[in-house]
Amino acid sequence: MAHMTKAQTDKHEGKIKAEARYIRVSAQKARLVVDLIRGMQAGAAITTLRTTNKRIAPTVEKVLQSAIANATNRKDDVDVDQLFVSEAYVNEGPRMKRVRPAPMGRAYRYQRRMSHIVIKVKEKEA
């Protein structure tokens, strides 16, 4: 099973981070979903993810919910309605090498890719 989330605060900018590591999806496919929510207001981003018809969308939503929860736990005066996705990116994780049987007794190698999803939220300045 994948490691779920890590919380961390960027000291200088006030961004709150949540990270899902070792998710069994290629980084290319995850980026299609993460690119949709970058820069959006947090509530609108959750709505977008719930209506996105991709297998990775619920996982990205879970990371976003975790980032919002981390923000409310770090500071008491955080207004959840003012949070927006300041950074969202997907990094490649390790690859699992696998072998598939091929004709005439040969074997083809292929790679099962993993990715790390990082979402940072920040409060909009009024």
- CATH (domain of 73): 3.90.470.10
Question: In which domain, by residue range, is 16 found?
Answer: 3-123
Asked if pLDDT for residue 24 goes beyond 90, the answer is: yes
Instruction: Look at 12 and 56; give whichever has higher pLDDT.
Output: 56
Question: How many structural domains compose the chain?
Answer: 1
**Among candidate residues 116, 13, 31, the one with its CA nearest the CA of residue 71:** 13
**pLDDT tens by residue, 53-98:** 999 999 999 999 999 999 999 988 888 999 999 999 999 999 999 9
The whole-number pLDDT of residue 32 equals 97
How would residue 4 be classed by pLDDT, with cut points 50, 70 and 90?
Answer: low
Q: Which amino acid is at 101?
A: P
What are the backbone angles phi and psi of residue 110, rounded to the nearest 5°?
Answer: -140, 170
Rounded to the nearest 10 degrees, the angle between the axes of helix 42-51 and helix 27-37 is 130
